[in-house]
Amino acid sequence: MKSKPLISILVACYNGERFIDKCLESITEQTYSILEILVVNDGSTDSSFELLSKWSKIDNRIKIINQENKGISKTRNVLLDKSTGDYLYFVDVDDWIELDAINKFVKIVLLNNPDFIANSFYKSTTKKDCIFYISNNMNDINSKKEYLIKNTPFAWGILIRKKFITDNDFRFNERSDFFEDAGVMTYWIYKAKIFCYLREPQYHYFVNKSSISRGKKMNFNKITSAIEQLDNFYRLLDRESFDVFPREINDQLAFYHCIIFTYINFQSEISRKNKVKLKKHLQLLEIKKLKYPKIYWKFWYFVLYRLFMY
């Protein structure tokens, strides 16, 4: 890419009044200024819309889309449809980014013209920041296999070429809002022709205990939703006609199976009868192509994270 690209920064907001100012300040003060900033207010019941309206008057690059509550998956698809940038960058409303983040991504874009740029990130709390490195030794270019083996990608904090999304008709699965990027981002990265990795962390992932995936208890409906997302991952993989899953795909599937199985077993709020239903549902998805690694570090990281973070 010869000319400087337009970057669309995409923010889904639901009841984010406590976080909006910090999030949008980090975006509007970027050293790279060729930005389109799209924020969807997804039916917030707090003062989010009023705060977003004030920000749109401060910075004309900010465009607000106000809608009835549709959930994160539909909202992200709205952001995909409305964006006009050459590259897309999702930011959760309770997170923030380094002030030179987009500039560093753009430098890689101008050199390599990639479909994806992934990044290390900070895991932030109200007390401290912890750097979460995917790998210090990973190659900067075309390292997607190693990235997927060592990491479970999310929608946020990754720069994505818009044409890559539209050419492949990629969408978020709207039938479920829990684990909404599970599998989807793995498949998108797997399909990328040019993948780059920025080692220096640029994204602050705030450990917000009130969020859906961290603060609230799992229940029957949420775990059913997670299984639906896993089912969607399998449907995406059906396009490839694999005889055997490549390791990077196999390990991602095994990780999701382990997480969901752990949720089912450790939730006292779910009746024994419903646990049996969920396990049967999960087992129906397992196929002979899937093999569980003997020592599965991602699974144990997840278990330890749940034990020691709360």
- For residue 212, what pLDDT is reported? 40
Q: Which pLDDT score is estimated for 128?
A: 66
Residue 116 lies in a domain: yes
In the 8-state DSSP scheme, what is residue 6? P
Mean pLDDT over each residue of the chain, to the nearest integer: 85
Q: Are residues 46 and 181 in the same domain?
A: yes
178, 206, 234 - which closes a domain: 206
- pLDDT for 59: 98
DSSP string for residues in 100-112: THHHHHHHHHHHH
Domain identity same for 62 and 135: yes
Q: Which pLDDT belongs to residue 204?
A: 94
Distance of CA 58 to the CA centre of its chain: 28
Residues of the chain with pLDDT > 90, as a percent, come to 49
Q: Identify the pLDDT of residue 133.
A: 57
Tokens for 271?
A: 């009746």
110 and 48, same domain (yes or no): yes
Same domain, 227 and 173: no
Give yes or no: residues 95 and 195 share one domain: yes
Q: Is the domain of 231 the same as that of 127?
A: no
> What is the predicted pLDDT for the residue at 96?
96
pTM over 0.75: yes
pLDDT at 280: 84
Structure confidence by residue, pLDDT tens digits, 154-200 = 999 999 999 999 999 999 988 877 778 878 999 999 999 999 999 88
Query: Which of 157, 184, 206 is at the close of a domain?
Result: 206
How would you class 65 by CB atoms within 10 Å of its CB: exposed for 0-12, middle for 13-18, buried for 19 or more? middle
Boundary of a domain, candidates 206, 239, 269 = 206
Tokens of 196: 């780059």
The answer to whether residue 211 sits within a structural domain is: no
Q: Is there a single domain that holds both residue 35 and residue 141?
A: yes
Question: Which residue type is seen at 105?
Answer: F
Within 13 A of 200's CA, how many CA atoms are on the CB side?
Answer: 10
Residues 139 and 274 in one domain: no
Q: What is the pLDDT of residues 287-308, one digit of tens each?
A: 656 776 654 555 555 554 454 4
Q: What CATH number should be reported for the domain holding residue 70? A: 3.90.550.10
pLDDT at position 74 over 70: yes
Residue with tokens 């059913």: 224
**Domain-located, residue 273:** yes
Q: What is the pLDDT of residue 219?
A: 81
- pLDDT above 70 for 211: no
* Count of structural domains within the chain: 2
By C-alpha distance, which of 93, 43, 83, 33 is closest to 63?
A: 83
The fraction of the chain above a pLDDT of 70, given in percent, is: 83
Q: Say which residue, 213 or 55, is predicted with more confidence.
A: 55
Q: Is there a domain that residue 2 lies in?
A: no
Between these two residues, 44 and 228, which has the higher pLDDT value?
A: 44
H helices within the chain, ranges in order?
20-28, 48-58, 72-82, 101-112, 144-150, 162-167, 184-191, 220-237, 247-266, 272-285, 297-309
> Do 191 and 227 share a domain, yes or no?
no
Structural domain contains residue 213: no
Q: What is the arithmetic mean of pLDDT over 230-247?
A: 87
Residue 75 in domain: yes
What pLDDT score does 134 carry?
A: 58
Phi, psi of 12 (to 5 degrees): -95, 130
| Top-confidence residue, 283 or 275 | 275
Task: Kindly state whether residue 43 falls inside one of the protein's structural domains.
Answer: yes
Q: What is the pLDDT of residue 295?
A: 46
pLDDT in tens, 52-68: 999 999 999 999 999 99
Asked whether residue 215 is domain-assigned, the answer is no
231 and 150, same domain (yes or no)? no
Give the β-pairing of 35-42 and 62-67. Answer: parallel
**What are 76-125's pLDDT values in tens digits?**
999 999 999 999 999 999 999 999 999 999 999 999 999 999 998 898 77
| 108 and 243 in a common domain | no
pLDDT tens profile 247-257: 888 888 888 88
Shared domain for 190 and 248, answered yes or no, is no
Distance CA 174, CA 181 (A): 11
Residue-range definition of the domain harbouring residue 258: 220-309
